[in-house]
Amino acid sequence: DIVMTQSPDSLAVSLGEGATINCKSSQSVLYSSDNKNYLAWYQQKPGQPPRLLISWASTRESGVPDRFTGSGSGTDFTLTIGSLQAEDVAVYYCHQYFGIPLTFGGGTKVEIK
Amino acid sequence: EVQLVESGGGSAQPGGSLRLSCEASGFTFSSYWMHWVRQTPGKGLMWVSRISGDGSSISYADPVKGRFIISRDNAKNTVYLQMNSLRAEDTAVYYCARSATAYNSFDPWGLGTLVTVSS
């Protein structure tokens, strides 16, 4: 199984400041045949299902604010929130869809400082 | 609007059974893979199972293999999860989710249905 390890478990950021969430996979999720990283990021607010923010490690989904940026390749990935807004308070998960079983990171809780 | 609505959750005793349903709307259901993912407060998100658009390809996570059965009825735009031999550790919110291909991100997710296994 590909183990996804996120860090930190939680972070508190002042409004307008940046936030960085890390995700490390136990093996590469870069598929050589198409040169794509099979890695997604989701946002989950209380009482709601996860919402897809980023796919293929860096492709922002339609409607996602451009303050959300995904980066990285191979085994190390980052989700950056450029300027934290109040509505960004949530838990963020990384997800690898490279291999079965599909697996998720443990989540990072983002709060306002 | 693309929408997924789960139903069928509830309480069951250990060893019992439940059948979850997920009704889809707003897209060509048979063209998409469908997944079940569960979430517990302690263990986060866990992928449970997936099924291809025509139902010919199915995969399960090891903890549910041999106990859960995924199926779909494309005429009814619905995917099912038959849950047998339930255990306390199956207690979770169960979400259905869509993916465009076998190996792709999940978008969207349903609102989820709570399954509680307790004596």
A44-76 confidence digits (pLDDT tens): 999 999 999 999 999 999 999 999 999 999 999
Contact list in A for residue B62 (CB cut-off 8 A) is 101
Average the pLDDT over B11-29 and give the result. Answer: 98
Please answer yes or no on whether B61 and A101 come within 8 Å at the CB atom.
yes
Structure-block tokens of residue B60: 């399960």
DSSP-derived 3-state class of residue B29: helix
Rounded Cα gap, residues B75 and B72, in angstroms: 9
Nearest to B99 by CA among A56, A32, A36, A43: A56
- Do A93 and B107 make contact, defined as CB atoms within 8 angstroms? no
C-alpha–C-alpha distance, residues B117 and B85, integer Å: 10
Residues 6+ apart with CB under 8 A from B75: none
Angle at alpha carbon of residue A57, lines to A54 and A59, rounded to 5°: 50
CA distance B12 to chain A (A): 23
Residue pLDDT, tens place only, B73-91: 999 999 999 999 999 999 9
Q: What is the pLDDT confidence band of residue B43, given thresholds at 50, 70 and 90? A: confident
Q: Cβ separation of B44 and A40 shorter than 8 Å?
A: no
pLDDT score of A30: 98
